[in-house]
Structure 1
């Protein structure tokens, strides 16, 4: 059965949807935690550098491949490599599809935590103390309730399609996320101790910027933050008509994503020092206590110490994180959904619920073996699979497409002087930089 391919109806709709994919827990949860543990301003400096030199080109390459093919990531990579290594392209697309499923398996669990904490503060305001405490304490039972709930939320939007679901809800949720973030920053920066956090975050110690651990953390954070390497940006690119200026779109998405990450740092890192000023233990041996669990332990205690106003702030904060998580899960879910629709001829409805069921099973497996699998899956995805996928995108655009440099050939046809330079940068410089980072990863491990 032939199906009419859905698409984005406006440039702003695409940018908001793609930025929504990029702007998620990686920005508001992961970035500030990584920054606080890796030198604050030094990490911010390296992160911005890595984003400019590697993440932005990788985002461009991923969107460009999807836009040129107008197909799902598996079919797009196979087509791009059809004159050289078609099966390699196909299986690289399948690996990216598996990466999207991996991301969803742990992302939906964490997103469930956010939703539970938002409701915890709200129920505390209503005087439902026992329910509030149950929602605030991590447990298998809570995971079993909120993980499926979050998967259902994402499926309900994906089920409606690209324009009626993804584009419409991204246009609603992204402005709300930005307004809430700015309001929380203004509130936190007025609290005692916030100025110490600002100093750590905004004043870099340049002696730390050559630390291999910091560089690797910044690279993994940049790729994870922009949702590169799992096919989400490729499938979004395929829903845009050909002829659009992909360079400007990639810059817009990267700028918005980086801005939100920067703003999240302005919220979380000063909040840590506000908590420290209030007598809470935040750092031990210059490292955050609890790291990933930080915002579920320290910040709720800080908010609770502020009375009813703190509970309102807490509810808004975790609702903000829930919105960010939802916009990201939408794009990752669309990767396997688009594949099943186009290559296996399933309807959008059947594809959506099949993918959601598989993600639910994978999430339940992580919940059952949380200590053994949760951190491992995140490390494999962010430090190995995503960077390797980006390396492959560079090779496809620079070397394999039509047995040559796709952007250089296009430049010769259209007379664009800047495209050969950009094409050669993606062809030579980006693979070399990524390879150097991988060598450092191997040495550290």
Structure 2
């Protein structure tokens, strides 16, 4: 099949773009905290094991589907089996919804980056950072402005296309992200008392780690941190040339993703412990605790700029993949121009994100099933659509397309050796579906661990 949709200019470009899709805000605030409370180094061992068994299996399955068909997520499933387009549609819907509220958080990052550059962030008393953050996100106009700005940045990159836009941006942002994280890590681990944060992250507590709840937590973190089940890797895989070594590329993506997760822990937790803060997960860690830490640190304004810039890069490398999933679908299925499709979709996604932004203020009393609009969209995408998309991927590859055909594609039609094919096939057909079902049922309290 001749690819007229665009193609990655290099294997490195694809790996950096795909790793960028996987590396997002969740790596920066969820992984350090989850590791710390779930057995430290023992949790890290479990996480990496699950990452390279289950995460690797699902990732290369998605990439193989994309390269095989050279189509968007919906079209790719349908091209292999005409009755399975709905599985790809679920992934596209998940990406669409996630980007709508992800852009809200991306806007907060831009706001804090600007405040770090101007110095206004450090005119706040450390004890008032919580109130400052709450006041900002509950206002109407300012968060919407920064949300729109984040969507514009995402749009500009996607407008450039695959090789000239996404790949070039990833080749700049990902190395810069790694460099900034290393700089911040060195500063963090050399703070007085920082060793307690390092222990919190890495000191093994095998008694705590090897429990059903912690193992499921590790599985959930792996699944959601790799952009699986939302069509990103299928879409990115569809831009690959035929001779790409999928197992090697998948391995490199996982190595980069786990490297960022561990670096994030070494950036955040030593500093948190050094200054006596609680390592709470979520936006509070990034927008309340971290600014308070920088306000007490020598040259804190400089390190704050570096931190929020790297967070912005992490957010953008994920958001461009989410938008590309939607754009690829419209371009392929409706034969529309990429520029027009990208602009219209960005506007729609921004409009859908407005209620998520207002849910922290003017619309805070509006509830859906007990959730405000922001939390409902997060719950619906993360707890329903993504596990469902991942489960359907396993069923499709394992039982519909058949693993022997998937292996044939991964092996470049016999020109490449895939020595772990039997293990990979077993994981896709049996292990991964069970894990995803357990995660799904745990999310809704049906299984209590």
Q: Same fold (TM over 0.5)?
A: yes
Inter-partner Cα distance in structure 2 for 1:417 and 1:252:
16
Q: How far off is 1:382 after superposition?
A: 2.7
Q: Tell me the residue number matched to 1:12.
A: 12
- 8 Å CA contact 2:181–2:310 kept in 1: the answer is yes
Match of 1:109 among 99, 104, 110: 104
Q: How far off is 1:107 after superposition?
A: 1.1
Matched, 1:239 2:248: no
Q: How far off is 1:439 after superposition?
A: 4.5
Q: How far off is 1:212 after superposition?
A: 3.6
Q: Cα distance 1:219–1:153, how it changes in 2: closer, same or farther (>3 A)?
A: same
Inter-partner Cα distance in structure 1 for 2:153 and 2:326:
17
Inter-partner Cα distance in structure 2 for 1:268 and 1:127:
19
The root-mean-square deviation of aligned C-alpha atoms, in Å, is 2.7
Q: How far off is 1:383 after superposition?
A: 3.4
Q: Cα distance 1:65–1:413, how it changes in 2: closer, same or farther (>3 A)?
A: closer
Inter-partner Cα distance in structure 1 for 2:174 and 2:289:
27
Match of 2:306 among 308, 313, 316: 316
Q: Tell me the residue number matched to 1:296.
A: 287
Once the two structures are overlaid, the 10-residue window that deviates more, 198-207 or 434-443, is: 434-443
Q: Cα distance 1:408–1:352, how it changes in 2: closer, same or farther (>3 A)?
A: closer
Matches within 5 A, 1:3-402: 4-82=4-82, 86=83, 89-124=84-119, 138-139=136-137, 140=139, 141-276=141-276, 281-282=277-278, 288=280, 291-306=282-297, 309-370=299-360, 371=364, 372-401=372-401
- 8 Å CA contact 1:189–1:195 kept in 2: the answer is yes
Q: Cα distance 1:292–1:247, how it changes in 2: closer, same or farther (>3 A)?
A: same
- 8 Å CA contact 1:198–1:269 kept in 2: the answer is yes
Inter-partner Cα distance in structure 2 for 1:52 and 1:247:
11
Inter-partner Cα distance in structure 2 for 1:388 and 1:318:
33
- 8 Å CA contact 2:100–2:349 kept in 1: the answer is yes
Q: Tell me the residue number matched to 1:407.
A: 406
Q: Give 5+ residue unaligned stretches, structure 1.
A: none
Question: Which whole-Å deviations, capped at 9, do the CAs of 1:193-216 have from their partners, x for residues lacking one?
Answer: 210010111112111224443333
The count of corresponding residues between Structure 1 and Structure 2 is: 427
Q: Give 5+ residue unaligned stretches, structure 2.
A: 365-371
Q: Tell me the residue number matched to 1:429.
A: 431
Q: Cα distance 1:54–1:379, how it changes in 2: closer, same or farther (>3 A)?
A: farther
Q: Cα distance 1:184–1:332, how it changes in 2: closer, same or farther (>3 A)?
A: same
Inter-partner Cα distance in structure 2 for 1:90 and 1:111:
31
Q: Cα distance 1:225–1:409, how it changes in 2: closer, same or farther (>3 A)?
A: closer
Question: Which whole-Å deviations, capped at 9, do the CAs of 1:63-119 have from their partners, x for residues lacking one?
Answer: 11111110000000111223xxx1xx2111111101001210121111111111111
Once the two structures are overlaid, the 10-residue window that deviates more, 231-240 or 36-45, is: 36-45
- 8 Å CA contact 1:272–1:282 kept in 2: the answer is yes
SS at match of 2:119: helix
Q: Tell me the residue number matched to 1:444.
A: 448
Inter-partner Cα distance in structure 2 for 1:317 and 1:417:
40
